Structure 1
Amino acid sequence: MTKLLTDIRSDIETGTSLSSAFRKHPLYFDALYCNLVEAGEAAGILETLLERLATYQEKTLEIKRKIKSALIYPVAVLVVAFVVVAVIMIFVIPAFKEVFTSFGADLPAPTLFVMSMSEIFVSYWWLIFGVIIGGTYFFFESWKRSEKMQKTMDRLLLKLPVFGDLIFKSAVARWTRTLATMFAAGVPLVEALDSVGGASGNAVFAEATEQIQKDVSTGTALTTSMQATGIFPVMVLQMAAIGEESGALDHMLSKAAEFYEAEVDEAVKGLSSLLEPIIIVVLGTIIGGIVVSMYLPIFKLGQVV
């Protein structure tokens, strides 16, 4: 960070504009950031624009944090659950198997099934973990590198039960917040749309934004272009239409962003409340089923005795 600030300072001292200095460091300052700073420099309101940019960053980072917190919890629980089940299968079940073999009696079907699964884990645990870890790594690497796969996965994510609604509202909130911030800064609409699609965090919205930009550049109204994509909620379209007619597009888009940011907040709270009991029931069923299946022969033996 010190080197970054030193480089920017050196550029400014040699007469380079702040936005141009930022553009030399794309890893730290994206196109949206640089465009806003450039607009502030051109209009002589750089201080105001930097304040707006700070507010924008705070709101978008808050949305990202909420989405991550909502998604990380179930994933973390499932990973821990898998490790626990693997430990039971590899170390605990074989001990029971030795005891049951000494009985010399027929074992119940659930017990035989669990013991068969245990044998697979014991024999191929390295392959199971390797496939899971390697498959996960390969999947995310392919996701990052393949634009086609990004679009396919992002489209599927929007259709997921429960999670899809949260991801959709988050994308709408970020899209409207970004466009409102850019437009309020005086960035021309066509240029502003350059940064909006990527800021939404979803390839479906990015693709739709490209089409909107093409339509707007040929004279089509923003609302008409948005409606043609078929992905924006009616409320957002109505507010955008009012904003275009009244000349207060940035204000109306900000209102839409605030609404969907609140919706994301509520969705995260609701998701947490919904997932906790579901995860408890699922894990209880799996682990409880394993435990009961291993004690069935003991209960059966007790009845015989």
Structure 2
Amino acid sequence: MAVTRTAAKTAARKGAKPANARQGVTLDTFVWEGTDKRGTKMKGEQPAKNANMLRAELRKQGINPTLVKTKSKPLFGSAGRKITPKEIAVFSRQIATMIKSGVPIVQALEIIGNGHKNPKMASMVNAIRTDIENGTSFAEALGQFPVQFDELTRNLVKVGEAAGVLETVLDTIATYKENIESLKGKIKKAMFYPAVVIAVAILVSAVLLIFVVPQFEQVFVGFGADLPAFTQLIVAASRFMVSYWWILLLIAVVAIFGFIFMYKRSLPLQHFVDRMLLKIPVLGVILHNSAIARFARTLATTFKAGVPLVEALESVAGATGNSVYEKATLRIRDDVSVGYQMNMAMKQVNLFPHMVIQMTAIGEEAGALDAMLFKVAEFYEEEVNNAVDALSSLIEPMVMIFIGILVGAMVIGMYLPIFKLAAVV
């Protein structure tokens, strides 16, 4: 920490900003060619501040650079895909493993940054490395990228650095992120399947109404007889779809994007949607169990790292993945801060099952709250896993029945006039 303060004071005397005042330094990616000491030709690409610094870095590695130029950017869009939570989880595991093996943090970051396939991820890792080389702490360097590294991660790293157990904390963070990403994947799977079923049903209906039904209608015109009511209904729907399909498509697109836009910006709407989702049969149970698992694992991880319980609960609130549980967690934090036992505070919000409350009470009494919460997290993560598998098995026959009824109803509606004509003949 003394080095950091000295660097900051020196920068202040020179009238420059401290290294940690930078907001998201972006490194350019260069392609280079050169020869090693044996004269073997080599080439590659590497992020750097400028071409001269990259040449100096290559010479340190025993490579004589013959060409260094900025990598050309793609014609459309920025280079590289966005940084995903899964990539952050892998980064956490890589840095934890290297530091635990005795690799200095700067060298570990250099290895990860130079070997990453996503240019945006490589640029971010190299920017973090540069910050640390300039005297910034690891936690402060991560703070330059708050989207990728949330408050929970930064707080845990800060605690680990202060206590001198950074490698242990990083290993805990890596395990936590891997478990959370696995849980998120299961929830997405549970919600994605029904959405795909509904989309396929709508698409099949639209194709039948726009392309198939009009062909039958031309045949019905030659009958010269009144069509059955059910057939008239399908024909009317087909005419409407043929004439106004673009209006329906526009309304659907506007409604979807409008809802997403409002959902991201309206806390009352988020709370309402999250509360309704929890009430959906089967899916609601999965979301409940997922929120409890994330609550328990996040709290256990932060508390085990040495974060005080009240501060830990504040970090946990945003990690539950549901605004209903987020508000409940903040209420628990307020109750704990004025002297309530955590299990009593959990009981008051009326969201947590009796088993979770009792295990929390036992953990508090035995002084092993983190161990008990880890057990709760493992139990409910297994419950989510089993529920997702059960949901998939339940939905498959329902999909077949639903699409069968939909298509069968249209086929019957189209053949009713033919049956009626055959009866008259």
2:319 aligned with 1:202, yes or no? no
- Equivalent residues in 2 for 1:76-95, closer than 5 Å: 76-95=196-215
Q: Which residue of 1 aligns with 2:284?
A: 164
Hey, what does 1:252 align to over in structure 2?
372
CA distance in 1, matches of 2:149, 2:319: 13
Equivalent of 1:73 in 156, 181, 193: 193
Could you give the per-residue CA deviations for residues 133-188 of structure 1, whole angstroms, max 9, x where no partner exists?
11011111111110111111111111111211111111110110100010111111
For structure 1, list consecutive stretches of 5 or more residues without a partner in the other structure: none
Alignment match, 2:258: 138
Per-residue CA shift, 1:16-54, capped at 9, x if unaligned? 111111111101100011111111112211111111111
Aligned to 1:34: 154
User: Per-residue deviation at 1:228?
Assistant: 0.9
Per-residue deviation, 1:62:
0.5
The residue type equivalent to 1:66 in the other structure is K
Q: Which residue of 1 aligns with 2:234?
A: 114
Q: CA deviation at 1:15?
A: 1.6
Q: Which amino acid aligns with 1:154?
A: D
1:235 to 352, 355, 360: 355
- Residue of structure 2 aligned with 1:25, choices 141, 145, 148: 145
3-state SS of paired residue (1:117): helix
RMSD, aligned CA: 1.0
Other-structure match for 2:132 = 12
Establish whether residue 51 from structure 1 lines up as the match of residue 171 from structure 2: yes
Cα distance in structure 1, aligned partners of 2:135 and 2:234: 73
Using the TM superposition, give the Cα deviation of residue 60 of structure 1 relative to its aligned residue in structure 2, in angstroms.
0.6
Map of 1:242-281 to 2, 5 A cutoff?
242-281=362-401
Between structures 1 and 2, the one with greater strand share:
2
Count of aligned residue pairs for this structure pair: 305
Q: Considering only CA atoms, is the larger Rg found in Structure 1 or Structure 2?
A: 2
The answer for the alignment partner of 2:93 in structure 1 is none
The equivalent of 2:35 in structure 1 is none
Which residue identity is paired with 1:97?
A: E
Structure 2: segments with no counterpart, 5+ residues = 1-120
Q: Amino acid of the residue matched to residue 384 of structure 2?
A: V
Whole-Å separation in 2 of the counterparts to 1:180 and 1:141: 34
Output the amino acid matched with 2:127. D
* Equivalence for 1:174: 294
Opposite residue 76 of structure 1, the aligned amino acid is: V
What percent identity do the matched residue pairs reach?
A: 51
Residue 244 of structure 2 corresponds to which residue in structure 1?
A: 124
Distance 2:258 2:288 in 1: 26
Greater displacement, 244-253 / 10-19: 10-19
List per-residue Cα deviations over 1:174-224 (Å, max 9, x = no partner): 110100010111111111112111111000011111111111111211111
AA of the residue aligned to 1:177: R
List per-residue Cα deviations over 1:90-116 (Å, max 9, x = no partner).
Answer: 111111111101100121111111111
Q: After TM superposition, give the deviation of residue 77 of structure 1 in Å.
A: 2.1
Deviation at 1:269, TM superposition (A): 0.7
Deviation at 1:302, TM superposition (A): 2.0
User: Within 2, Cα distance between the matches of 1:195 and 1:275?
Assistant: 36
Q: For residues 354 and 165 of structure 2, what CA distance do their matches in structure 1 show?
A: 34
Q: Give distance in 1, aligned partners of 2:386 and 2:271.
A: 27
Secondary structure of the structure 2 residue equivalent to 1:211: helix
The residue number in structure 1 matching 2:102 is none
Partner amino acid, structure 2, of 1:94: P
